[in-house]
Amino acid sequence: MKLFNNLFAYHFKCTARVFLPLILGVLLLAGFTKGMELLSKLLPFLTALYTFLLIISAFCTIGMFLCIILLSIRHFFRNMTSAHGYFLFMLPVKPSMHLSSHLFTYVIWLIFAGAAAVGCVFLLIPNNAYAQLGTILDQVFAVLQIGENRMITLMIVMVLLSATAFMCTIYAAISIGQLAKEKRAVTSFAAYIGIYMIEQLLSVCMLIVLFSIFGMDLFTSTAVLAENMLLSVMIGSSVLYVLIGTTSFLVANRLFSKHLNLI
């Protein structure tokens, strides 16, 4: 456990150098946009500037997630296939611990980014739109016939599971890519495409099965998803994410344990 903590602290420190200023920057921009909204009510000529900042802030919030995902992949790729791998693989820890420490760091940053994004949304929504947003969400939950607390909890679990499963597939792809002597990034990308195709195939199979359970056809039915079915789809997807994530993790662990090929 001590080694895992040390590894996590190392990865957190390495990534925090970029991620922390990124998250704080996006929050600061959202706060500044909020300030501009208030100011534009007093000085209407600032409305255009506020609108511009609002659009930039919204893009930056989405971009923050994209950056965290891409830079986490880069961090892992660099650590496991380049000269930096000499440090990690010199340590007396199993490859599974390397994988889980990278994964844990990534999930922690995703949670931080998620919390920051919620903060940004609340800051970016104009004051007069809060009530409207509440009404829209109530209508959505009413149509879906599902309790909002249960829906939000399920959504958070699903997002975390899918994000984790996605990163595990990336780890598996990189573990396949490192077997190549040259062009490891290209090989990893090709491996990811292969894994993605298998993942999509499994998703379609799962949906066909679920739809048939409810007496519907995936390709021809146009009915709105009922509560039970929606829940089934969400639970089915979660199970699939766990299955794909675990398999990918095991593949990556096996390849890094038995076929490590640092150049």
Partner 1 sequence: MTPILTCEHLTKTYGVFRALDDVSFTIEPGKIVGLLGENGAGKSTLLKILAGMLTKTSGRAQIDGNEPGVLTKSYVSYLPDKSYLNDWMKLSDLFTLFSGFFADFDIQKAKEMAKNLGLSEKTRLKAMSKGMQEKVHLILTMSRHAKLYLLDEPIGGVDPAARDYILDTILTNFSEDASILISTHMIADVEQILDEAIFLKQGKLILHAPVDELRETHHQSVDALFREVYRS
Q: Name the site residues for partner 1 (rule: CB under 8 A).
A: 2-3, 6, 9-10, 14, 17, 83-87, 89-94, 181, 258-262
Structural tokens at position 199? 């993942």
Q: Which residue number, 45 or 86, has a Cβ lying nearer to partner 1?
A: 86
Closest distance to partner 1 from the beta carbon of 261 (Å):
6
- Burial (Cβ within 10 Å: 0-12, 13-18, ≥19) of residue 218: middle
Closest distance to partner 1 from the beta carbon of 73 (Å):
18
Which residue shows structure tokens 């996605």? 166
Rounded distance between C-alpha atoms, residue 109 and residue 11, angstroms = 11
Closest distance to partner 1 from the beta carbon of 253 (Å):
13
Q: Which residue number, 20 or 204, has a Cβ lying nearer to partner 1?
A: 20
Q: Which residue number, 6 or 246, has a Cβ lying nearer to partner 1?
A: 6
Q: Which residue number, 57 or 72, has a Cβ lying nearer to partner 1?
A: 72
- Cα→Cα distances 125→35, 54, 109, 117, 204, Å: 12, 9, 24, 12, 36
Query: 65-101 burial by CB neighbour count: b if 16+ within 10 A, else e?
Result: bebbbebbbebbbebbbeeebeebeeeeeebebbbbb
Closest distance to partner 1 from the beta carbon of 17 (Å):
7
Q: Which residue number, 10 or 141, has a Cβ lying nearer to partner 1?
A: 10
SS3 96: helix
Closest distance to partner 1 from the beta carbon of 3 (Å):
7
Contact 118, 65 (CB under 8 A): no
Q: Which residue number, 90 or 223, has a Cβ lying nearer to partner 1?
A: 90
Closest distance to partner 1 from the beta carbon of 94 (Å):
6
